[in-house]
C-alpha cells in the first residue's frame, strides 16, 4: 500500500521543495520506491520540451521511481503568480479530476508518495476552491514546512490551526532555515517545538545549493511513532487510505 503525505508551507518561499526533496531522500534511504508529485505549478520556463517548473524538476530528480515530467507536474503555468489568477486569465481551469488522476496513477507506482502544494495552505486554485479543499477531499495527512525567520511562529500556529480545524492531522513538521541562522534562531526553534503538537521531523540548515544528503537531517521514524500514538483517533478506512495496513 502506498503511504501518502501532503506537504504545505507557512507561506510561499519557505522551502517546501527543499523539504520535499529531503523527505524523498530520507524515504529512499529506506529502500522505498518514492515519488514526488507537484500537481499544480506556476512560475515556469518555456523550454524545447515545453513548460518546465524548477520545483517539479527537483521532485522528479529526487524520486526513485523515474517518470516523465508530465506525470509529475500535469498542470503548469509560465507566469509567477497564484495559480488561480493565471488559470482564469488563460481560461484554463484547474480541475480536481486531473489532480486525482495523477494521484491514482502514482498509487500503482510508488510505496511512498509525497504531494507538494503551491504556496501556503489556502492557496486558491479557482474562484471557489483552494488547495486545502482538495486535500480535505482526499483526507491526506499533512507535513508542514516552517520557514524559520521572524514571524514564523505566528504563521506556523495559524496554519496548524487551519489544518486541524479542517479535520486533518499534521503528521509532522520540518524547520527549514531559509536564512543563515540569526541570534534568535534557537529561541524560534524551541518555541515552535513547545507550541506545535506534531513531531518535528528535523531541522534543515540554510542551503546555498541542494544536494543528495538533505535526507540525513530528517527522522521519518517519527511519522510512524506519531501514527501509533494517535491510531485510535482515525477510522480504519482512513488508515487504509493512507497506506497503513494496520488492523486496530
Over residues 49-91, the pLDDT tens digits come to 999 999 999 999 999 999 999 999 999 999 999 999 999 999 9
Specify binding-site residues for Mg(2+): 17, 55, 116
Burial class, 3, CB count within 10 angstroms (exposed 0-12 / middle 13-18 / buried 19+): buried
Confidence of residue 204 (pLDDT cuts 50, 70, 90): very high
Asked if 74 contacts 58 with a C-beta cutoff of 8 angstroms, the reply is no
Task: Output the CA–CA distances (angstroms, integers) from residue 232 to 2, 5, 141, 184, 236, in the order listed.
Answer: 21, 19, 15, 38, 9
* Structural domain boundaries in the chain: 3-241
CATH code matching the domain that covers 3-241, chosen among 3.40.50.300, 3.90.1150.110, 3.30.1330.20, 3.20.20.140: 3.40.50.300
pTM across the whole model: 0.95
- Of residues 3, 38, 197, 208, which has the active-site annotation? 38
Specify binding-site residues for ATP: 13-18, 55, 116-119, 176-177
Asked if 22 contacts 218 with a C-beta cutoff of 8 angstroms, the reply is yes
| pLDDT value for 248 | 57
- Active-site residue 197, yes or no? no
Amino acid at each position: 500500500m502506498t503511504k501518502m503525505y501532503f506537504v504545505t508551507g507557512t507561506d510561499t518561499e519557505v522551502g517546501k521543495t527543499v523539504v520535499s526533496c529531503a523527505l524523498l531522500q530520507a524515504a529512499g534511504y529506506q529502500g522505498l520506491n518514492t515519488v514526488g508529485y507537484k500537481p499544480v505549478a506556476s512560475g515556469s520556463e518555456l523550454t524545447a520540451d515545453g513548460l518546465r517548473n524548477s520545483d517539479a524538476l527537483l521532485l522528479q530528480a529526487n524520486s526513485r521511481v523515474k517518470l516523465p515530467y508530465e506525470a509529475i507536474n500535469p498542470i503548469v503555468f509560465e507566469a509567477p503568480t497564484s495559480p488561480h489568477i493565471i488559470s482564469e486569465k488563460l481560461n484554463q481551469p484547474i480541475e480536481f479530476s486531473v489532480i486525482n488522476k495523477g494521484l491514482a496513477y502514482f498509487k500503482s507506482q510508488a510505496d511512498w508518495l509525497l504531494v507538494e502544494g503551491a504556496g501556503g495552505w489556502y492557496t486558491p486554485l479557482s474562484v471557489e476552491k483552494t488547495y486545502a479543499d482538495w486535500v480535505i477531499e482526499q483526507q491526506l495527512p499533512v507535513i508542514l514546512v516552517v520557514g524559520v525567520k521572524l514571524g514564523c511562529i505566528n504563521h506556523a500556529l495559524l496554519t496548524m490551526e487551519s489544518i486541524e480545524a479542517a479535520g486533518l492531522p499534521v503528521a509532522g513538521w520540518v524547520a527549514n532555515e531559509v536564512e543563515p541562522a540569526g541570534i534568535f534562531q534557537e529561541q524560534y526553534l524551541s518555541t515552535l517545538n513547545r507550541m506545535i503538537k506534531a513531531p518535528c521531523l528535523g531541522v534543515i540548515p540554510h542551503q546555498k545549493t541542494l544536494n543528495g544528503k538533505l535526507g540525513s537531517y530528517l527522522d521519518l521514524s517519527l511519522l510512524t511513532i506519531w501514527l501509533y500514538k494517535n491510531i485510535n483517533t482515525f477510522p480504519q478506512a482512513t488508515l487504509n487510505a493512507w497506506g497503513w495496513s494496520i488492523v486496530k
